[in-house]
Structure 1
Amino acid sequence: MHTPIVHPLLLSLAVSIAVVTAFSPSDHYLIDCGTTATTVVDFDHRSFTGDGSSPVLSATKSLALKNSNPDPNLSPIYHTTRVFTKPSDYKFKIKEKGPHLVRIHFYKSDFKNIGSTCHDQFHVSANGYVLLHNFLAFKGNPRIKDFFILVDKDELAIRFIPADKTSFAFVNAIEVISAPKDLIANDYVRSDQNIRHAYETVYRVSVGGVKVTPFNDSLWRNWIPDDEFLKLDDGSLKSYKKLHFDGRINYRLGGASREVGPDNMYNSARLISSLDDSIPKQNMTWVFPVNKGFSYLVRLHFCDIASISIGMIYFNVYVNGNLVYENLDLSSLTNYMLASPFYADFVVDPEKLSDVIRVDIGPSRLSMSHAIDGILNGLEIWKMSNSMSSLDGEVCLEQLESKNQSGGQMNRLLSLTGAVCLLAIAFLVMRRKTEAKDTVGWSQVPTDVSEIDLKSSYPKSAVVNV
């Protein structure tokens, strides 16, 4: 009998387990690029060290540029720039191996000393991962590229590679900070691709709240409001309520920590609630554009700051139209404590992924009238590196390096390596097509991961094809 082909959406659900203690990173590098100043204080009262007075810079040829007329509304870290005309590295000694946050700051100004025939287009890598490929910065607001990398060596090397001989690379500031080990689980892998991922933050959203700045986040992150991503239908504003909570967020052992999400994110939310005796027949919907060809880690943050009593809120959660939580009861997940945060992770597989990720929160069959029928406090989406260890296209590091080599056997060797990378891509594509013909909608669950019951009060980590 022919089995219909099911186009899978890979979902992984993980419950946070964190100890509620103050986090002190072992590695904490804040580098202001293009200056010899020993201390540069940014708008969030953090002290950056100039790369000209730090041993981390390893450049064969670079320029230090200073803006003679800086915008007073810009942080001082954007007043200077380091420019590279050759591949160059920043090398950071790692005290404690494990997950690290890497933030790279870019602000394009006038590069008058570079030459009219040169242009800024470049690649960035870190310990074998391609972070940026053919990156172009445009004039306007500063851009911060935010990454999460598992460092298994004693050194983290961030490399800037001009795209060609007429290009240059630049950077304004770099942050390398040890991350809490429970921030992102390291077991989000496909059963047919046992690879270790790097992550790039695509969206970090405070639902129903205002912008949260690094000064109000223990990991110095930005959280933006959700308004631009909320999909509104006629009359939906009447039942989509914003809520701000002035009480205390109850972080607890076994729940989300302040490093997972700050108070200023969890103390706001967007609600869907009954307008009268009837339960709304609609969901709250958020839509996020994404690039195809990558898996994405979607994290949903919940904290019941709306209920006056436990056991009063039940709702369903959907990711790209798939029911991932049915009759979700937050009180049963937080030891029957109100205003206690909880988060859940879902990995969306790239196969047959459209160009958006859609999240829906709405009433369930257990929802009650005159009560809250859905809540969401925050949302994060990370892009996951592909089989080429790239976060920006089907390209491996050897291909990028080969374009900056000249002549002889080395160039031919690197070109051959690039060809091997392309063959690996073709092999993986053919393998996926072959597996898709035989799939029945399930992927093999890792042996160290138990099965999942989405209706359970205590969902367990799992990998599920839907």
Structure 2
Amino acid sequence: MSLSQFWAYFSLIFLGLSFHIRRRTFVSAESLAYLRTESIFLDCGSSAKQSLSLGRNWSSDIGSQFIASNSDSDSIITTASKGMTVPYITARLFYTKFSYTFNVTPGPKFIRLHFYSDSYQGLNASQSFLTITAGRYTLLRNFSCYLTAKYLKTDHFFKEFIVYVENHTLELIFSPTSNPPNAYGFVNGIEVVSMPLQLYIRGDDVSLPFVGFHNNMLAIDNKFALEMVYRENVGGQTISPDQDTGMFRTWNDDASYIFGAAFGQLDYDTTVSIQYPKTVPAYTAPEDVYRTARSMGQYNEINLNYNLSWFFPVDTGFLYLVRLHFCEIVPDMTLGNQRVFFIFINNQTAETQADVIVWSKGHGVAVYRDYIVMVPSQAARKQDLWLELHPNIQVKPEYYDAILNGLEIFKISNYDGNLAGFNPPLDESNIQQASSPALSKKSKKGLQNRIKYSISGGLLFILCLFVLIFIKTRRKWKMKNTKDSSPCNNFHADDITKATNNFDESLVIYNLDMGKVYKGEINGTEVAILRGIKEISEQDFKEGIKMLSQTHHHNIVSLLGYCQEDSEKILVYEYMDNGTLSDHLHDHSKHLSWNQRLEICVGAARGLHYLHTGKNRPIVHGDISTSSILLDENWTAKILSFGFTMASHNSDGYSIHIGSQTDVYSFGLVLLEVFSGRAPTLNLKTENDENSGSNGDDDHESLIPPASDCLEKGDVDQLLDQSLKGKISLESVGNFVKITKQCLAKKEMKRPSMSEVLYSLELLQMSQDNESNESSPKGLYPESCSDLMIGVEFSDMLMSSGR
């Protein structure tokens, strides 16, 4: 062998070893795409034996092994009038129960059900109602394809579920609803695809943060099923099923869910080699998810004044798994503390110092974070789940910015295995894009190859938005030129006098300790005007206004402005159509149901919890009662806050702690009043431990004696509102009373925080829909649903797997 041949041979070996080392260090989605054990695609009603669509080989279900031998005669096959792509061209239609049975390996499976809304066989599309089960899980109940398609503004869509198959049999049962009499059901396509064992259902050993409940972790095990409600490629284009990592997932673009015009900046790098660490397998998400992102932009001053926000309509009454995908792809982002930000989910803090480089430990390295979020039952069938990012300047990062590459949101099944929500009403059919993703019909310009740059699209829109808001505000409200630095509207006394018809007594809607509240109107907007605040110092009044103007929450009455002229101190609030909670509890012509009362208590607890855990600083209310809890036109509970009262309680940490415990005690009195329908006849004040002459054995001696006796003896029937007797389960009564007793504990150290109170009330509200279950499964919920009170023993009652 010549010397040149030797060096050539040595070079090949060296290059091969180098390539081998690199492949072991940096893995790619192409090399480690998930290898499926099952991939079943049924084109229901199709006469074609096989059809290829977006990487999936669809087979006809006619004569299929997955249909029982005698079931074909119970259904008919039909064709969609305008269906253009498989599996939306044909359908299987049935009037009675129909089932498919799949022989699969044990483990988690994707189940995707495809629907095309049409008048099959001339039938009325609005009369198709269907219940679908998979083993013990109810995937859909009384489901209307017609209403869903109208709501989503698309003629076709799919629903994706994740179910753990314990044995070798997966049975899908389709049952047309019996009412109306002409009801029928149909399905256009079915997918059953295997998936990695712990991709989403990560088991008892993996604890996930429960957003809004500090230091509490929950786990999802195989007893729970999931429904995918959103899967977004943030800042990028739609990724079709054939471009996924072997599981045929669809990743939509996120533009339809950005709040307002502040859509930030699109970042992408089509050449970066995405690295997948051991904790994030390469099949977790496609490389294109991590190669694109949405950030806030390069202007620090602008970024400080807005949140990068998304909103996602979801069904109420469920827990949700929210997965956020991150990867730093901007070339200069290579060190920790360059970009640090807050993550807020549903107005609660999920992360205070999100730093992608710290999490991933490198540039171009994929990472994700999972969170559990509760969306309790409400009168509204859907509620927006908010996701917001904001720079954290407290840690002095190099850039005031935030970033997100992708997100997934999953509904988690309830105690009884239910995933089914309500059908959307037609009058809410205003969403722009499917909440269950339909394949986009839009053609989008692809990313340019081998270029690295960012598109700054939000700056102009943000500036224009600020200008428009400023102009509109000046036109709508007559503002007074003043040197006052308050960010709130400062109204002229003439505006207030005109709005109240010179304080006409017939316009008085509430008589509060702080003064009278008048109903008024300013430039066509109904407002509530609080007058009579004279004993408050000017400094406290200004501090209170400043505090209220920075307090924004769904369950707190918004302050619109104030007036301070001629010794008058007046506050202007949003108008609440249904008055105070006190009115409805004590007016015998008005009866609140138990579910309404629970929902009101949960809403008020959310508002008070927000004040106590505010991101700027904790706030003590100081005057919680049924008179300071108002109800809007949708019966949403909102706390009426008096800023000067709050300001007087927030001078130091000790005062905040004492004041927050007083708020909890006052909230306990609210719960007692809600339960009994009777107001306390004494102005009850809690006693400090140092001033108490008691030996401490009686935690409820400060209550009205009859109420105290009833609570101690468990004779709650004497306390219960007469209008509720016989209408509430004993379990619900017992749990509510436990929460009330803990709040009213005489010793402050024995009272729960508002976080714990809110957690207990929300679990109690959720259990109302699941009272048929004797106990909850382990892993996600507390061990027993027979005692949902999480008070002093809050941390001890959580599952050990979630600690």
Instruction: State if a TM-score over 0.5 links the two structures.
Output: yes
Asked if structure 2 preserves the Cα contact closer than 8 Å seen for 1:249 and 1:266, the reply is no
Q: How does 1:209-248 map to 2 (within 5 A)?
A: 209-218=236-245, 219-232=247-260, 236=262, 240-248=264-272
Secondary structure at 2:145's aligned position in 1?
A: coil
Pick the aligned partner of 1:108 from 110, 117, 122: 117
Secondary structure at 1:359's aligned position in 2?
A: strand
Pick the aligned partner of 1:31 from 42, 53, 56: 42
Pick the aligned partner of 1:329 from 322, 336, 355: 355
Asked if structure 2 preserves the Cα contact closer than 8 Å seen for 1:65 and 1:81, the reply is yes
For the structure 1 residues 367 and 36, does the alpha-carbon distance in structure 2 shift closer, same or farther, using more than 3 Å as the test? farther
Pick the aligned partner of 1:207 from 221, 227, 234: 234
Deviations 1:225-269 (A, max 9, x none): 222221236xx45xx111122123423233433432112222111
Asked if structure 2 preserves the Cα contact closer than 8 Å seen for 1:216 and 1:264, the reply is no
Asked if structure 2 preserves the Cα contact closer than 8 Å seen for 1:37 and 1:53, the reply is no
Q: Residue 179 in 1 paired to residue 213 in 2?
A: no
Aligned equivalent of 1:146: 160
For the structure 1 residues 426 and 388, does the alpha-carbon distance in structure 2 shift closer, same or farther, using more than 3 Å as the test? farther
Q: Give % identity.
A: 25
For the structure 1 residues 328 and 116, does the alpha-carbon distance in structure 2 shift closer, same or farther, using more than 3 Å as the test? closer
Aligned residue pairs: how many? 393
Structure 1: which amino acid aligns with 2:412?
Answer: M
Aligned equivalent of 1:75: 85
Structure 2: which amino acid aligns with 1:196?
Answer: K
Q: CA deviation at 1:125?
A: 0.7
Q: CA deviation at 1:374?
A: 0.7
Asked if structure 2 preserves the Cα contact closer than 8 Å seen for 1:315 and 1:329, the reply is yes
Q: Residue 57 in 1 paired to residue 57 in 2?
A: no
C-alpha distance in 1 between matches for 2:418 and 2:731 = 15
Asked if structure 2 preserves the Cα contact closer than 8 Å seen for 1:57 and 1:91, the reply is yes
Secondary structure at 2:242's aligned position in 1?
A: helix
Relative to the length of structure 1, the TM-score reads 0.76
C-alpha distance in 2 between matches for 1:118 and 1:284 = 39
Aligned equivalent of 1:6: none
Greater shift, 50-59 or 148-157, is seen at: 50-59
Aligned equivalent of 2:801: 448
C-alpha distance in 2 between matches for 1:180 and 1:230 = 31
For the structure 1 residues 110 and 232, does the alpha-carbon distance in structure 2 shift closer, same or farther, using more than 3 Å as the test? closer
Q: CA deviation at 1:117?
A: 11
Secondary structure at 1:57's aligned position in 2?
A: coil
Secondary structure at 1:332's aligned position in 2?
A: helix
Deviations 1:276-325 (A, max 9, x none): 58862432111112121111111111111125222222222121222222
Pick the aligned partner of 2:403 from 363, 369, 375: 375
C-alpha distance in 2 between matches for 1:344 and 1:331 = 13
For the structure 1 residues 123 and 249, does the alpha-carbon distance in structure 2 shift closer, same or farther, using more than 3 Å as the test? farther
For the structure 1 residues 232 and 66, does the alpha-carbon distance in structure 2 shift closer, same or farther, using more than 3 Å as the test? closer
Q: How does 1:24-423 map to 2 (within 5 A)?
A: 24-42=35-53, 44-58=54-68, 59=71, 61-67=74-80, 70-71=82-83, 74-94=84-104, 96-112=105-121, 119-138=127-146, 140-164=154-178, 165-184=181-200, 185-187=202-204, 196-218=223-245, 219-232=247-260, 236=262, 240-275=264-299, 280-308=304-332, 309-311=334-336, 312-334=338-360, 336-351=361-376, 355-364=383-392, 365-369=394-398, 371=399, 373-393=401-421
Secondary structure at 1:265's aligned position in 2?
A: helix
Relative to the length of structure 2, the TM-score reads 0.45
For the structure 1 residues 212 and 153, does the alpha-carbon distance in structure 2 shift closer, same or farther, using more than 3 Å as the test? same
Structure 1: which amino acid aligns with 2:118?
Answer: S
For the structure 1 residues 192 and 186, does the alpha-carbon distance in structure 2 shift closer, same or farther, using more than 3 Å as the test? closer
For the structure 1 residues 436 and 62, does the alpha-carbon distance in structure 2 shift closer, same or farther, using more than 3 Å as the test? farther
For the structure 1 residues 318 and 119, does the alpha-carbon distance in structure 2 shift closer, same or farther, using more than 3 Å as the test? closer
Asked if structure 1 preserves the Cα contact closer than 8 Å seen for 2:203 and 2:219, the reply is no
Structure 1: which amino acid aligns with 2:371?
Answer: F
C-alpha distance in 1 between matches for 2:240 and 2:280 = 19
Asked if structure 1 preserves the Cα contact closer than 8 Å seen for 2:329 and 2:364, the reply is yes
RMSD over equivalenced CA pairs, Å:
3.2
Secondary structure at 1:167's aligned position in 2?
A: coil
Deviations 1:156-195 (A, max 9, x none): 0011001015321111110011111121123479979998
Q: CA deviation at 1:360?
A: 1.3
C-alpha distance in 1 between matches for 2:44 and 2:95 = 15
Unaligned runs of 5+ in 1: 1-17, 395-424, 451-466
Whose relative contact order is higher, 1 or 2, with alpha carbons under 8 Å and at least 6 apart?
Answer: 1
Q: CA deviation at 1:429?
A: 5.2
Structure 2: which amino acid aligns with 1:338?
Answer: H
Unaligned runs of 5+ in 2: 1-26, 209-216, 423-727, 743-751, 757-793
Deviations 1:6-52 (A, max 9, x none): xxxxxxxxxxxx9973311112211111134321212x032111111
Q: CA deviation at 1:381?
A: 1.0
Asked if structure 1 preserves the Cα contact closer than 8 Å seen for 2:228 and 2:411, the reply is yes
Q: CA deviation at 1:431?
A: 6.6
